[in-house]
C-alpha cells in the first residue's frame, strides 16, 4: 500500500485553512482489508471537523469511522477507518483490490495564539500511513502498516512594504519621499503605496496615517487605486473631516501576493511650525494579535515624509579677491544665502547683517552686486548706511556693520540662492586710494607680507 502526502500551501498563523491530502494505492496483486488511513498533524494545527472528503477510484463508498486522539499542543492524530465503508464484493467482503486508490482531503489550521507558539517551536512535521490486513487475516485488526510518509510543512511569510510620498499641489512640485516644503494655506497631497511581496496572502491589512499636527484634512480627497472613497473609511476620524491629526486607520482587507494598493489624500497647511512628520504605518496579520509571543502573528512596517513650513537658511562667506587673497589694502567678499525651507519674508525691522572685521571698512567706491538663481527683480545690492561705525578714513575707529533690509532683499524663496558681493578696504590707518581687491597702494606699516587671512565675518 503506497501513500502520497501533500498540503496545498504554507501554514498561516492567522487561521487560514490548509488543505491536506493523503492518497493510498494498492499496488499488490491481492486484496487489502480493514483499511485505515492515519494522519498525525504537526503540533499547533487543529483538525477542522467535518471537512474530510473521501474519494475512491473503484466505486462509491460510505463515510468511514473517524477517530481523533492526542492534543493540539503535541499533535493530533486522525484515523479514518474504511473497514465498513468500501464497496461489498461478490463474497460479501469490503476489500480494496489491486490498483484501487483511496484519497482523503481535509482542512487544518492554527486556531489560537498558544497553537501558533506550538507550531512555531515544533518540528512542523505531518506524517501519514495506512493500516490494513492481508486476506489471511480478514477478521483481524489491520495488522500491517505502511511506512510513515512524512511531510515537512513551513510557516507562511506574508509581507507588505510601504512607501510614503508627498507633494505640494499649490506649488506644483513633484512627488518626493523626503521633505515637502510648503507655505501657509498650501495644499499638500500624500500618497501611500502598499505592495504585498511575501510568499502568502497578507490578511487584514490596515493602514494608519498620522497627518502632521499643523495640517487639516481636505474632505472628500481620499482615493484608493484611483477610486474616490468616503471619508468614513478612516476610523476613528473626526466629523466632518473624516481624518484628523493623530492615528487614523483605513481597513483594506486581504492582499494577495504581488498585489498593490495606492492611497492618496490631501491636507492644507493650517500653521507654520518647525518640521512635522507624516507617518504612515501598515499592519497585517491576525486582527487579535498575540502580543509579544513568538511567532509574530501581527506584523507592521512604516514610512514617513517630513513637512517643512518655515524657512531654513544656510549662509556662507568666501574670499573672491582679485589676487585670490586679502591684502593689506583690502579685498572682496561673497555672501551666499540659500533657503532650504518655506519662503522667508524679510519684514520691516528684519535685516541681513554683516559685521565688518576689525581694520576694514565697506568700500563704496566699488559697486556691490546681488544675484539670484530665480527670477527676483526687486533685489537691490546697496546696503543701508553703516550702522555703529565711523567714516572709512577713521584710523582705529569702530568699523560697524553692513545691513540690507527689505528694500534690498524682500524675500528669499524656497530653493532660492542669493549671492551678494562687495568690497572691503583697509581703514584710515593705511594709505588707500583705489578700489579694494586690486592690489595695495602701499603696505601697512611693520608687515612682512601683503598676504593676510580672510577676515572673520
pLDDT mean over 80-88: 96
Provide CATH 2.60.40.740 ranges for the chain.
Answer: 160-308
pLDDT mean over 404-414: 94
Whole-prediction pTM value?
0.77
Least confidently predicted of 163-177, 249-263, 356-370, 424-438: 424-438
Query: What pLDDT, on a 0 to 100 scale, did the predictor assign at position 428?
Result: 57
The CA distance from 28 to 103, in Å, is: 18
For the chain, what is the total number of helices (H) and then of strands (E)?
1, 34
Q: Residue 239 — very low, low, confident or very high, per pLDDT cuts 50/70/90?
A: very low
Q: Which residue has better confidence, 353 or 357?
A: 353
Q: Residue 247 — very low, low, confident or very high, per pLDDT cuts 50/70/90?
A: low
CATH (one of 2.60.40.1510, 3.40.50.300, 3.20.20.100, 2.40.50.140) for 2-152: 2.60.40.1510
Query: What pLDDT, on a 0 to 100 scale, did the predictor assign at position 435?
Result: 53
Q: Which CATH class is domain 313-452?
A: mainly beta
* Residues with Cβ within 8 Å of residue 282, at least 6 apart in sequence: 160, 162, 192, 194, 205, 206, 207, 208, 300, 301, 302
Least confidently predicted of 319-328, 359-368, 405-414: 319-328
For 14-39, the pLDDT digits (tens) are 888 999 999 999 999 999 999 999 99
Q: Residue 361 — very low, low, confident or very high, per pLDDT cuts 50/70/90?
A: confident
pLDDT mean over 247-262: 92
The answer to whether residue 446 scores a pLDDT higher than 50 is: no
Query: What pLDDT, on a 0 to 100 scale, did the predictor assign at position 171?
Result: 94
The answer to whether residue 452 scores a pLDDT higher than 50 is: no
Query: What pLDDT, on a 0 to 100 scale, did the predictor assign at position 237?
Result: 53
The dihedral region occupied by 214, where left means phi > 0, alpha psi between -120 and 50, and beta the remainder, is: alpha
The CA distance from 199 to 157, in Å, is: 6
Query: What pLDDT, on a 0 to 100 scale, did the predictor assign at position 15?
Result: 86
Q: How far is CA 411 from the centre of its chain?
A: 36
The answer to whether residue 189 scores a pLDDT higher than 50 is: yes
Query: What pLDDT, on a 0 to 100 scale, did the predictor assign at position 431?
Result: 46
Q: Residue 298 — very low, low, confident or very high, per pLDDT cuts 50/70/90?
A: confident
Q: Which residue has better confidence, 91 or 327?
A: 91
Provide CATH 2.60.40.1510 ranges for the chain.
Answer: 2-152
Query: What pLDDT, on a 0 to 100 scale, did the predictor assign at position 433?
Result: 46
Least confidently predicted of 301-305, 332-336, 450-454: 450-454
Q: Residue 293 — very low, low, confident or very high, per pLDDT cuts 50/70/90?
A: low
The answer to whether residue 395 scores a pLDDT higher than 60 is: no
The dihedral region occupied by 429, where left means phi > 0, alpha psi between -120 and 50, and beta the remainder, is: alpha
| CB environment 43-56: b (16+ within 10 A), e (fewer) | bbbbbeeeebebeb
Residues 212 and 277 sit within 8 Å (Cβ to Cβ): yes
Q: Which residue has better confidence, 136 or 55?
A: 55
Angle, vertex CA 149, rays to CA 148 and CA 154, nearest 5: 125
For 337-353, the pLDDT digits (tens) are 999 999 999 999 899 98
Least confidently predicted of 3-17, 108-122, 395-409: 395-409
Query: What pLDDT, on a 0 to 100 scale, did the predictor assign at position 138?
Result: 62
Domain 160-308: give its CATH code.
Answer: 2.60.40.740
Amino acid at each position: 500500500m503506497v501513500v502520497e502526502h501533500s498540503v496545498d500551501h504554507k501554514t498561516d498563523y492567522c487561521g487560514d485553512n490548509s488543505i491536506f491530502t493523503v492518497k493510498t494505492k494498492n499496488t499488490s496483486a491481492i486484496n487489502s482489508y480493514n483499511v485505515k488511513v492515519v494522519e498525525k498533524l504537526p503540533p499547533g494545527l487543529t483538525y477542522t471537523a467535518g471537512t474530510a472528503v473521501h474519494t475512491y477510484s473503484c466505486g462509491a463508498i460510505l463515510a468511514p469511522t473517524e477517530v481523533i486522539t492526542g492534543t493540539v499542543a503535541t499533535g493530533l492524530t486522525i484515523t479514518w477507518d474504511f473497514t465498513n465503508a468500501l464497496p461489498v464484493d461478490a463474497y460479501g467482503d469490503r476489500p480494496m483490490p489491486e490498483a484501487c486508490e483511496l484519497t482523503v482531503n481535509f482542512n487544518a489550521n492554527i486556531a489560537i495564539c498558544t497553537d501558533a507558539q506550538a507550531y512555531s517551536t515544533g518540528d512542523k512535521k505531518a506524517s501519514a500511513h495506512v493500516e490494513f490486513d492481508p486476506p489471511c487475516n480478514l477478521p483481524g485488526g489491520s495488522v500491517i502498516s505502511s511506512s510513515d510518509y512524512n511531510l515537512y510543512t513551513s510557516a507562511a511569510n506574508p509581507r507588505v512594504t510601504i512607501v510614503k510620498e508627498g507633494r505640494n499641489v499649490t506649488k506644483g512640485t513633484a512627488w518626493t519621499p523626503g521633505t515637502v516644503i510648503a507655505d501657509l494655506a498650501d495644499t499638500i497631497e500624500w500618497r501611500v503605496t502598499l505592495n504585498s511581496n511575501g510568499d502568502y496572502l497578507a490578511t487584514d491589512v490596515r493602514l494608519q496615517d498620522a497627518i502632521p499636527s499643523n495640517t487639516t484634512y481636505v474632505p472628500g480627497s481620499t482615493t484608493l487605486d484611483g477610486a474616490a472613497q468616503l471619508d468614513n473609511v478612516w476610523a476613528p476620524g473626526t466629523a466632518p473631516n473624516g481624518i484628523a491629526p493623530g492615528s487614523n486607520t483605513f481597513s483594506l482587507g486581504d492582499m494577495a501576493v504581488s498585489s498593490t494598493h495606492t492611497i492618496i489624500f490631501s491636507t492644507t497647511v493650517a500653521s507654520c511650525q518647525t518640521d512635522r512628520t507624516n507617518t504612515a504605518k501598515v499592519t497585517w496579520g491576525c486582527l487579535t494579535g498575540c502580543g509579544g509571543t513568538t511567532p509574530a502573528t501581527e506584523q507592521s512596517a512604516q514610512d514617513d515624509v517630513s513637512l517643512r513650513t518655515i524657512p531654513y537658511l544656510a549662509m556662507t562667506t568666501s574670499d573672491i579677491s582679485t589676487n585670490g587673497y586679502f591684502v593689506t589694502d583690502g579685498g572682496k567678499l561673497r555672501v551666499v544665502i540659500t533657503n532650504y525651507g518655506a519662503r522667508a519674508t524679510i519684514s520691516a525691522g528684519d535685516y541681513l547683517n554683516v559685521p565688518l572685521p576689525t581694520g576694514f571698512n565697506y568700500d563704496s567706491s566699488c559697486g556691490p552686486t546681488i544675484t539670484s538663481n530665480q527670477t527676483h527683480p526687486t533685489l537691490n545690492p546697496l546696503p543701508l548706511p553703516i550702522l555703529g561705525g565711523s567714516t572709512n578714513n577713521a584710523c582705529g575707529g569702530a568699523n560697524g556693520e553692513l545691513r540690507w533690509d527689505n528694500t534690498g532683499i524682500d524675500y528669499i524663496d524656497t530653493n532660492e540662492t542669493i549671492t551678494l558681493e562687495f568690497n572691503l578696504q583697509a581703514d584710515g590707518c593705511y594709505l588707500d586710494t583705489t578700489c579694494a581687491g586690486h592690489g595695495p597702494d602701499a603696505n601697512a606699516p611693520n608687515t612682512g607680507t601683503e598676504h593676510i587671512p580672510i577676515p572673520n565675518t
